[in-house]
């Protein structure tokens, strides 16, 4: 017999309070999958009738349409899953924004761990119970229309697994954002920052390397984003489409999700009741968050101004100073909800400026010795020499048009290791810069 305080009973009670979200989710996936599939099948069947297509040709057209909708539209569905994940996360823990609701919830004799688990689990069910039900209904519609087979069924299940893992990753980040903030607007902003911060930093670093390192070769850059559910999702989808099993991507996504969810729970456990309504829930995180936001902003502002004024050093330095001061001031005003608080934390402004200057100096003066690096002969296999040719294109052996970069990199490199090392040690300082693309054993 199920006790009244059991987890399932708590889950049911929480679902009643969130019934409107269940209804919205059901209607959303109903129109997306079954209704969308019915419309697509109806249109393709009409096309078959007009074209006089029957038999295997007609079935193939229907199957291709069903496959594209059920198992091929990874990216389209991923966007929708992301939106639903953020909404469910924020709505589930939105009581934390109100001091009265926080006091009410805390007055109920329920452990924090139980409350967190109930809301967290319910947020997953709200999305994926309607998702799976309507996905199955769409499969039934496709089957009755003659456009369903085992291959499409398996692809649809794979897509469902990938979307579930993506949902869990986005859901975890959104919950973490709720725990660290005290109102809706800042939560949404924090969620976006969590999801794109690593990408912004990587693009910023690459931009600085391209600008200040004469021998930077972007072919050696890595596009991995280890803190992005989207990256793991894309990697897994790509491997699945190629017929492989993306164990590394799936494990990485599960590990990231577990880490973020664990951190969110820890913040939930430590979150003070008086954080409701404030910009930031924890006082100790304010300075760190401000630093991590103002430094990239100031570095980005320097690049933009430098491009506009064509390398005017004085204006660039001045723009960095202004960017550091203004970004710190704006964030402090948001923290305190008081315009008079803009310049209270002068020490933090100084720290932001020093960090920005230190990072910029690494690139401006090549403090890591990037351009002075020379390859080790025992680790060198070959080298490819790339000279910019604008938008020139080539036709390869398969009569396929490719860009000059792709064409050059597809050819065997120079194997004379001694000559390559000698050339690398005599890098030209005048005229055209020679880019060396090295491939290690």
pLDDT at 436: 45
- Report the mean per-residue pLDDT for the chain: 86
Categorize the per-residue pLDDT at 376 as very low, low, confident or very high, splitting at 50, 70 and 90. Answer: confident
Mean pLDDT for the stretch of residues 128-156: 92
Q: What is the CA radius of gyration of the chain?
A: 28
pLDDT at 375: 72
pLDDT of residue 73: 64
Average pLDDT of span 94-115: 89
- pLDDT of 355 over the 80 cut: yes
For residues 155 and 86, the answer to whether their CB atoms sit within 8 Å is: no
Residue 430 has pLDDT above 60, yes or no: no
Whole-number pLDDT of residue 221? 66
Query: What number of other Cβ atoms are within 10 A of residue 190's Cβ?
Result: 21
Distances (CA, A) of 427 to 210, 385, 420: 17, 13, 11
Phi-psi region of 298 (alpha: psi -120 to 50; beta: other; left: phi over 0): alpha
Q: What is the pLDDT of residue 316?
A: 86
What does the block give as tokens for 20? 């409107």
Residue 395 has what pLDDT?
Answer: 67
pLDDT reported for residue 427: 58
Which residue would you say has higher pLDDT here, 376 or 108?
108
Burial 355-388 (b: 16+ CB within 10 A, else e): bbbebbeebeeeeeeeeeeebeeeebeebbeeee
Does residue 295 carry a pLDDT above 80?
A: yes
Is pLDDT above 60 for 240?
yes
Q: What is the mean pLDDT of residues 141-157?
A: 90
The per-residue pLDDT for 413 is: 74
End-to-end CA distance of the chain: 64
Q: Is the distance from CB of 227 to CB of 198 less than 8 angstroms?
A: yes
Q: Are 61 and 44 in contact (CB under 8 A)?
A: yes
pTM over 0.85: yes
Confidence at residue 437, expressed as pLDDT on a 0 to 100 scale: 43
Determine the average pLDDT of the residues in 89-106: 92
For the cut 70, the answer to whether the pLDDT of residue 112 exceeds it is yes
pLDDT in tens, 51-77: 888 888 888 999 988 988 887 666 789
Q: What is the pLDDT of residue 431?
A: 38
Partners of 435 in the beta sheet?
A: 386
Residue 132, pLDDT above cutoff 70: yes
Per-residue pLDDT at 311 exceeds 90: no
Structure token digits, residue 404: 């000059």
Q: Is a pLDDT exceeding 50 seen at residue 247? A: yes
Least confident of 24-33, 159-168, 418-427: 418-427
pLDDT of amino acid 5: 58
User: Which stretch of 187-196, 279-288, 410-419 has the lowest confidence by average pLDDT?
Assistant: 410-419
pLDDT given at position 213: 86
Whether the pLDDT of residue 215 is over 60: the answer is yes
- pLDDT computed for residue 392 by the predictor: 63
Residue-level pLDDT at 438: 45
pLDDT for 440 beyond 70: no
Q: Is the pLDDT of residue 1 over 60?
A: no
Q: What pLDDT score does 291 carry?
A: 97
Average pLDDT over residues 301-307: 90
């Amino acid at each position: 017999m199920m006790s009244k305080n059991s987890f399932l009973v708590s889950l049911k009670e929480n679902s009643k309070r969130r019934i409107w979200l269940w209804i919205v989710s059901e209607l959303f996936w109903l129109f997306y999958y079954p209704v969308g599939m019915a419309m697509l099948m109806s249109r393709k069947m009409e096309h078959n009738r007009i074209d006089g297509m029957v038999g295997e040709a007609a079935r193939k057209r229907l199957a291709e349409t069903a496959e594209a909708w059920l198992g091929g539209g990874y990216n389209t569905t991923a966007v929708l899953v992301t939106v639903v994940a953020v909404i469910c996360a924020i709505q589930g823990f939105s009581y934390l924004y109100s001091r009265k609701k926080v006091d009410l919830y805390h007055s109920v004799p329920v452990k924090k761990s139980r409350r967190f688990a109930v809301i967290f689990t319910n947020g997953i069910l709200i999305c994926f119970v309607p998702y799976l039900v309507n996905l199955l209904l769409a499969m039934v519609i496709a089957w009755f229309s003659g456009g369903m087979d085992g291959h499409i069924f398996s692809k649809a299940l794979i897509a469902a697994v990938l979307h579930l893992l993506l949902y869990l990753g986005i859901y975890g980040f959104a919950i973490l954002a709720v725990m660290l903030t005290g109102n809706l607007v800042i939560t949404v902003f924090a969620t976006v920052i969590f999801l794109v911060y690593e990408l912004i930093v990587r693009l910023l670093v690459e931009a600085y390397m391209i600008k200040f390192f004469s021998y930077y070769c972007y072919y050696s850059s890595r596009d991995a984003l280890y803190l992005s559910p989207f990256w793991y999702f894309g990697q897994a989808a790509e491997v699945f489409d190629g017929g492989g099993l993306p164990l590394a991507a799936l494990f990485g996504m599960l590990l990231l999700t577990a880490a973020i969810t664990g951190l969110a729970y820890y913040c939930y456990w430590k979150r003070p009741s008086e954080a409701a309504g404030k910009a930031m829930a924890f006082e100790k995180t304010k300075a760190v968050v401000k630093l991590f936001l103002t430094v990239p902003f100031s570095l980005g502002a320097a690049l933009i101004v430098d491009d506009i004024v064509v390398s005017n050093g004085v204006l660039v330095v001045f723009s960095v100073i202004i960017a550091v001061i203004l970004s710190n001031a704006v964030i402090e005003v948001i923290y305190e909800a008081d315009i008079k608080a803009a310049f209270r934390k002068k020490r933090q402004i100084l720290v932001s400026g020093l960090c920005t200057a230190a990072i910029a100096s690494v690139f401006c003066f090549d403090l890591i010795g990037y351009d002075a690096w020379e390859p080790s002969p025992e680790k060198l296999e070959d080298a490819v020499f790339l000279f910019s040719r604008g938008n020139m294109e080539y036709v390869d052996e398969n009569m396929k048009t490719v860009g000059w970069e792709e064409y050059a990199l597809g050819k065997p490199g120079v194997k004379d290791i001694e000559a390559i090392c000698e050339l690398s040690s005599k890098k030209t300082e005048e005229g055209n810069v020679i880019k060396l693309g090295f491939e290690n054993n």
